[in-house]
Amino acid sequence: MSMPLFASPEQLMREKSEIARKGIARGRSVVVLKYAGGVLFVAEIPAKSTLRKVSELYDRIGFAAAGRYSEFEGLRRGGIRHAELWGFAYDRRDVSARQLANVYAQSLGQIFTEQLKPFEVELCVAEVGASAEQDQMFRLTYDGSIVDESRYMVMGGNVDPIVAALKESYSEGLELSAAVGVAVRALSKSNTPGNASSNGNGGGLLTAENLEVAVLDRTRLDRAHSRRAFRRISGEALTALLPTDEPPAAEEAPPATDK
């Protein structure tokens, strides 16, 4: 009589984590950062793709995801339904990014512990406030962990060079054009030949056809009878914001010579 295979709970959790991390790393990267006017989302996408990685969840709340599209699309739709029902039953102002992030954390944690295969996704739920101090960004990982990010975050793909670039170039209070330039230059750092997320530009800057860009625009909240802050940026408006080349390198001083 053969004995059934046994794996400890710790080993199962490690294997599930490995599956999820590898799946997320195979995708293309997303950068979410705070700028002077709200929250900026910049995602790398295949040319001419109609699939969305960034979208609106509710009035002041946006959503971004990296990983397996079919899985995070189902989570996105579920978040919209929850927000609409909560806003209808109570008040639209009661729907917040923190509340939705907690709902996502519970769902992802339950899937990770109870199902054989975890979701290969990483999510961002962000909310724009009346002031920069009230802006919020929450990172949700495949196991239901939740982190409150204060400045920027990177999800999916080869994150290390992107994070390194943001550490060098990001500063608080950037205007929209400067923030887009910082995000695009950082995303382009992982766009190298041989990288799974490379778009074929040979390591150059990403172009408009390979980018999905949106903002949670604080100025929309100031308009009369306006409550929807989410706005997509595409076409000529996006092209006008994109950097045209890498920032010039600092000139090196000529070497000293003995006379």
Q: What is the CATH number of the domain that holds 147?
A: 3.60.20.10
- pLDDT for res 195: 47
| Coarse DSSP helix, strand, coil percentages of the chain, rounded to the nearest 5 percent | 40, 20, 40
Q: How many structural domains is the chain composed of? A: 1
Distance CA 196, CA 110 (A): 30
Distance CA 9, CA 47 (A): 42
Q: Are 198 and 192 in contact (CB under 8 A)?
A: yes
Q: Could you give the 3-state DSSP secondary structure of residue 147?
A: strand
Q: Are 192 and 216 in contact (CB under 8 A)?
A: no
For residue 184, the tally of other CB atoms under 10 A from its CB is: 23
Report yes or no on 155 lying in a domain.
Answer: yes
pLDDT in tens, 22-60: 999 999 999 999 999 999 999 999 988 889 999 999 999
Report yes or no on 156 lying in a domain.
Answer: yes
- pLDDT for res 81: 96
Listed as ranges, residues in the chain with pLDDT below 50 are 192-199, 248-253, 257-259
Closest CA to 142 of 100, 97, 105, 98: 105
- pLDDT for res 244: 81
Closest CA to 38 of 15, 59, 17, 13: 59
- pLDDT for res 110: 95
Report yes or no on 34 lying in a domain.
Answer: yes
User: pTM to 2 decimals?
Assistant: 0.87
Residue 89: give the domain boundaries: 26-240
Report yes or no on 212 lying in a domain.
Answer: yes
- pLDDT for res 251: 43
Report yes or no on 1 lying in a domain.
Answer: no
Report yes or no on 123 lying in a domain.
Answer: yes
- pLDDT for res 9: 75
Report yes or no on 143 lying in a domain.
Answer: yes
Report yes or no on 16 lying in a domain.
Answer: no
